[in-house]
Chains A and B, each alone.
Chain A
Amino acid sequence: QVQLQESGPGLVKPSQTLSLTCTVSGGSISSADYYWSWIRQPPGKGLEWIGYIYNTGSTYYNPSLKSRVIISVDTSKNQFSLNVTSVTAADTAVYYCGRYRYGSRIDFWGQGSLVTVSS
């Protein structure tokens, strides 16, 4: 059974960079069948798709966040990471990582990591 676990600071100051890492266990991040994704949920709101990365490093970002988001992968550690630059209070959210079958579904999710943007 594939498991994903987010990790990173729970508090980030405005204008700084939010950084999270997702560690994958029970499966290889180098699998040809899957992409690796980030999704977030602001308090009291719905889910928002952030983007994905493939094991080759190929990425796709939601156009609404594209200018501030970087997703990277470290296949040697079976991890992928999210950076969101120039954060504001609007970036406060629970951030989830997930295994993404392209176009079809996110079949495994992490438990989520709450990141609060505040001075």
Chain B
Amino acid sequence: QSALTQPASVSGSPGQSITISCSGTSSDVGGFDYVSWYQHHPGKAPKLMIYDVRNRPSGISYRFSGSKSGNTASLTISGLQAEDEADYYCCSYASSTNLLFGGGTKLTVL
């Protein structure tokens, strides 16, 4: 099964908001409310930012929010900060592979 589809890159200025999309099918993103998002700084462990579409783990800033419409999930980061610059991956439960990751999106804070 192919990876979930994410834009290769997005960018924004400090203080702005950006949204990263994650497109799948009815067998993954659209079929289950099990979408998670991970922040990955190169050389470090990926960090869970959002789970079950819209839930934030303890300690994650309110600036990070998640949503879903149909077969597409989204991660929105408001009030961009320099420290938000990283790679972001979406992930969904999938009927065929159990879990399926997106290809990743590089966020650049200008």
Q: Tell which of B36, B44, B52, B97 touches A106, judged by Cβ atoms closer than 8 Å.
A: B36
B18 at the A interface (CB under 8 A): no
- How far is B46's CA from A110's CA once the two chains are assembled, in angstroms? 8
Chain A contact patch, size range: 20 to 34
Known: A47-B104, A49-B100, A52-B98. A106 touches B93 (CB 8 A): no
Report whether B104 and A46 are in contact in the complex, using a CB–CB cutoff of 8 Å: yes
* Cβ-based interface call for A26 (8 A): no
What size tier do the contact residues of chain B reach?
20 to 34
Q: Is the interface of A mostly helix, strand, loop or mixed?
A: strand
- Do B101 and A46 have beta carbons less than 8 Å apart? yes
With A and B bound together, what is the CA distance between A100 and B93 in angstroms?
A: 12
Q: Contacts A46-B103, A52-B98; is A103 near B34 (CB within 8 Å)?
A: yes
Q: Which residues of B does A touch, CB under 8 Å?
A: 3, 32, 34, 36, 38, 44-48, 51-52, 57, 89, 91, 93, 96-104
Task: Pick 5 A–B contacts, CB within 8 A, sort by A.
Answer: A46-B102, A103-B98, A104-B34, A105-B36, A109-B45
Interface residues of A (CB under 8 A from B): 37, 39, 46-49, 51-52, 60, 62-64, 96, 100-101, 103-107, 109-112
